[in-house]
Amino acid sequence: MEHTTLKIEGMTCQHCVHAVQNRLAKMPGVKVGEVKIGSAVIERDPAVATIDAIAEAIADEGYTLST
Ligand SMILES: [Cu+2]
């Protein structure tokens, strides 16, 4: 598992925090840590949960993964 801090644009409130948290929690190979407005700390299996897949999931919820 790889420790990864995601920077996420478009999050403004606790609703956003929960949306991101729930979406990431559904992803195979992802263990969700602390999620705050603008960022999420996760542990991920890089072979299963690629950054591209995570970016797509975040985009599904209406937010943008920034690098
Ligand atoms: Cu919100």
pLDDT digits (tens, 9 = 90+) for 19-42: 999 999 999 999 999 999 999 999
Instruction: Give the sheet arrangement for strand 64-66, strand by strand.
Output: 30-36, 39-44, 2-9, 64-66
Strand pairing class (39-44; 64-66) = unpaired
Confidence of residue 67 (pLDDT cuts 50, 70, 90): confident
Confidence of residue 14 (pLDDT cuts 50, 70, 90): very high
> pTM for this one?
0.94
How many Å lie between the centroid of ligand 1 and the Cα of residue 40?
Answer: 14
How many Å lie between the centroid of ligand 1 and the Cα of residue 47?
Answer: 30
**CATH top class, domain 2-66:** alpha beta
62 pLDDT higher than 80: yes
How many Å lie between the centroid of ligand 1 and the Cα of residue 12?
Answer: 4
